[in-house]
Chains A and B, each alone.
Chain A
Amino acid sequence: MDTGSKTPPAAGSPPQSPWALGNLLRFGLTAFQFGLLVLVVRAFQLESRAFLHVMILAWGGFVVTQFLPGRLRMPLFACLSVISVLVVLDLEAGSWLLGLGVLMIGAAHAPVGHGARVALVLALGAGLALLRAGVAEAPWPSAIWPILGSMFMFRTMIYLYDLRHKSAPFNVWNALGYFFMLPNVCFPLFPVVDYKTFCRSHDNDQSWLIHQKGVRWMLRGAAHLLLYRAIYQNFVLDPAQVADGLDAVRVIWSTYLLYFRVSGAFHLIAGLLHMFGFNLPETFHLWLLSNNFTDFWRRINVYWKNFMQRVFFTPVHFMLRRRVSPTAAVVGATLVTFIATWFLHGYQWFWIRGVFPTSWQDAVFWSLLGLMITINVYWESKHGRARALGKFKRTLASELGIGLRTIAMFITITMLWSMWTSGSWEQWELVLGYLGELTFVQGLGVAGALSLLGVAGSLWGRSASVAVVAGGLARREASKPTFWRSSALVCASCGLLLTAGRSPLWFSFEPRLAEAVERLATNKLNAVDAGQLERGYYEDLTDVNRFNSELAALYKDRPPGWNVNDAIRQTPDQYPPYDLHPSVEVEYKGSTLVINRWGFRDREYEKEKPPGVYRIGFLGSSHTAGIGVENHETYENVFEDRLNAELATDERRFEVLNFAISGYGPLCRLATLETRALEFDLDLMVNVGIDDLPWITKELAHAVDKEIDVPYAELVELMAEVEVHKGLPRVVADNRLPRIAERALGWIYERAADVCEENGVATLMTFIPRPEENVARPEHLATQLELARAAGYEVVDTADAFATEPDLPSLWIAPWDRHPTARGHRMLADAVFDALLPHLRED
């Protein structure tokens, strides 16, 4: 393993002068490869737009650095790091972050004793933690917290440790470069780079060797991120949707494989740092091929392992070793290290999210992982582990052993990981329960995939578990690709990626392939997360799963209280279980909700219909209620205004009443129709659905979860068929209810149509679109249309309301909230007008 130690320049290596022809050629080719990688980051929207800007800045800095004398390289890196903070954050937020950082660094160098310095830094940290926890309002923008935390929460500990032992040179440039380290400003999760390694590894080998390693690692990072995206878009499944054994395997494996996101980001970061001469250790080295727990610990995040070893494991062992036996000291130090890891994991999330996570999943995961590693450490301290100076002897038994251990480790760690990341015990239990339903053929497929992993483990997985030095090391060095071969490989790979990234051009002959490549090339939410984002507003899912980095990235910019609707009134003894306070005015999602005296988000109307008025009612959810736009901008009001402007006469005008309330699905709409809307003497009722089929599952599961009575005996009977009743865990209800969803929805539609007919109200159904692509709408829509028609509804088509808009995100009220803007509502109003016009003329 390369830890960035000082190594002598390679024999026959070119001179270090940047102007030597050989070095100029190598530099030119490295700069070209770096440039290609910037284009790859741009083409595939890797990480964030901010990261692209930092990559461009880094590329410019890299070119300048090569022609600077060695003593000026660290100052330039420090300046670029500071500039990156100002580029990514705005001037105000960036200045605050830099100011607070300089204050922390200053405290670490205060002209007092070491103990007093530590106390000073702790006091500052505690003050910041109180502000982060929201005890008082900080004067700086909240956007800086995750980055400030990631720059200082661990590095300050290492810095003080090294400062105490004077184990590295200290000066202002080193400190600025170390703490504000490019590209940290783009990554709340950043490798815990060791200060001594940061200083010691700087330019400790031929520049072109370090740089070439950097571009290779960045390419590997990009590949890992694309692999992550492929898994995220195509493999991730909502645990509630598990239907057989293979689905269960898919859920268990995908939670672990999503870690490619961190692996990719860390490779990109370490590679970028290599471009500035930091010859840092490799991390996430073939982490899927770990074959025991200590091997896993050594591979997966070497920066964290080294940090814990220096700051916790070794000092604790030194304290214990004179008091207890050597084995007990090792075991004790390992346990302390894992307890500290657990605590620091929560500490890290505290700085990123502002809340210290306390979950049973964390407690069980870290306890079990700590226990397993302690047992492994104990075994190794008693029996040692395989090491060799020359070529390691391979036998069939040794290869088979490694392969089987790799498989066993993968199964164990994915089980542990799926438990750690599960939303609840019931959810994990549900998924595990389906494992027993693996068919023979599915089992063969799973065994085949595991066998491939085992073969890979025996072929390539030995390197981190078995140290091979001297002859072995020399062979390994000799087998590394030369600079020119490595450059050719990087250029070819980037060229291939950039070509493939232009999917519309190259894959237009095969739309599904083009679509798959496009999903890979864009940073979009997958169907599961898009669904969760959509559910978020009505089920108040503000607690985004801590492992869901995609949603977390969106939610971190969301203002506090975004989902709090003060107009909502809970009515647990009736159905719908909530409605709106009458005659109130509240701020919600950036707009003002004016609620009329009847408790609806609409203009004021008399209950009794005035003479000469044709009265239309709209049943719907938040999109129809117009969440995120002003009252006069909702499509229902725009439609009403247009009707009266274009169709009204002296004898006839129109009133359009909005009975829509956020979160109302088909069941709430039916209950509203029966209990409230019919009082208003309607001529026409328009029942507006969106994704009614999945929504009926959510409405019934919500009722089960909150122990609310479902008011229709027919639906209760249907639920009983799949053994769903009050008090059942939500995730189990979510999993079972889809089996009766179609029948439940068909019954609801039928009842709504019948009720209208019985009361002499004409009725229509329409399914309005959302301004987004990634919701699994087409399959639902076809079923919903069929069910609505079977129930006797005439369905009018508004599906193409947003069809002319190429940039759908421009119609969202915020990146984290996909309700339509006022422009989106005007488009919906036009579509509704066109769809209803024939019915209104006939009248």
Chain B
Amino acid sequence: MVPKEQVQASVKQFILSEFLPGEDAGELETTTPLVSAGILDSIATLKLVTFLEEQFSVQIDAHEADVDHLNTVEDISNLVLSKL
């Protein structure tokens, strides 16, 4: 089982490098809203899903690619862990 902290770190790293280049990593907390604040729009969400599937070898369904499951780093890690 991958520790939750490791999943969170990996997800944070991906979001920072892919969508927020040059931003201060300390400002992205595990509870920072991503979908509802517009950081993850529809295309970014799909990119994140592809990353999660490849990085953690999980399968995410279409109906899970939404604000309920992907709004914060915390939500994302919970989704990944529920599938490991």
Contact = CB atoms under 8 A, between A and B. Distances in A.
Given A196-B68, A309-B42, A3 B23 contact: no
A496 interface: no
Contacts of A2: 36
A332 B2 CA distance: 35
A112 interface: no
Nearest to B40: A467
A1 B68 contact: no
A390 B37 contact: no
A329 B42 CA distance: 13
Interface residues on A, range: 35 or more
Given A384-B19, A387-B39, A469-B33, 14 more contacts: A1-B38, A196-B68, A309-B42, A317-B62, A326-B50, A329-B46, A385-B41, A387-B20, A389-B27, A389-B28, A467-B39, A467-B41, A470-B27, A473-B32
Interface string A291-313: 00000001000000000011001
Q: Which of B39, B61, B62 has most A Cβ within 10 Å? A: B62
A19 interface: no
Contacts of A545: none
Interface in B8-35: 18-20, 23-24, 27-29, 32-35
Contacts of A548: none
Contact of B37 (A381, A384, A385, A469): A469
Interface in B61-84: 61-63, 65-68, 71
A315 interface: yes
Nearest to B23: A389
Contacts of B1: none
Contact of B68 (A167, A330, A473): A167
A133 interface: no
B36 to A, nearest CB: 4
A388 B20 contact: yes
A326 B49 CA distance: 12
Interface residues of B, number: 31
Interface string A373-400: 0000100110011011110000000000
A314 B39 contact: no
A530 interface: no
Q: Which of B34, B37, B61, B71 has most A Cβ within 10 Å? A: B37
A179 to B, nearest CB: 21
A741 to B, nearest CB: 55
B43 A3 contact: no
B46 A5 contact: no
A200 interface: yes
B47 to A, nearest CB: 8
A547 to B, nearest CB: 28
A387 B32 CA distance: 14
Interface in A138-175: 161, 165, 167
Given A309-B42, A380-B43, A387-B20, A471 B65 contact: no
B33 A5 contact: yes
Contacts of B35: 3, 5
Contacts of A161: 63
Given A5-B36, A469-B39, A167 B20 contact: no
A318 interface: yes
Interface string A320-351: 01000010011000000000000000000000
B24 A1 contact: no
B13 to A, nearest CB: 14
A2 B46 CA distance: 21
Contacts of B66: 310, 314
Contact of B23 (A165, A329, A377, A388): A388
Interface of A: 1-3, 5, 161, 165, 167, 196, 200, 298, 309-310, 313-315, 317-318, 321, 326, 329-330, 377, 380-381, 384-385, 387-390, 464, 467-471, 473
Contacts of B24: 389-390
A390 B27 contact: yes
A800 B79 CA distance: 77
Contacts of B61: 165, 318
Contact of A469 (B32, B47, B50, B62): B32
Nearest to A200: B68
A470 B63 CA distance: 27
B42 A467 contact: no
Contacts of A5: 33, 35-36, 67, 71
Contacts of B29: 470
Contacts of B71: 5
24 contacts: A1-B36, A5-B35, A309-B42, A310-B66, A314-B46, A314-B62, A321-B50, A326-B47, A380-B43, A381-B47, A384-B19, A385-B41, A387-B19, A387-B23, A387-B39, A389-B23, A389-B27, A389-B28, A390-B27, A467-B39, A469-B33, A469-B38, A470-B29, A473-B32
Contacts of A326: 46-47, 50
Nearest to A377: B43
Nearest to B38: A467
A469 B61 CA distance: 27
Given A314-B62, A330-B46, A390-B24, A298 B39 contact: no
B67 A3 contact: yes
A325 B63 CA distance: 21
Nearest to B16: A389
A309 B67 CA distance: 12
Nearest to A2: B36
Nearest to A4: B36
A389 B20 contact: yes
A506 B28 CA distance: 56
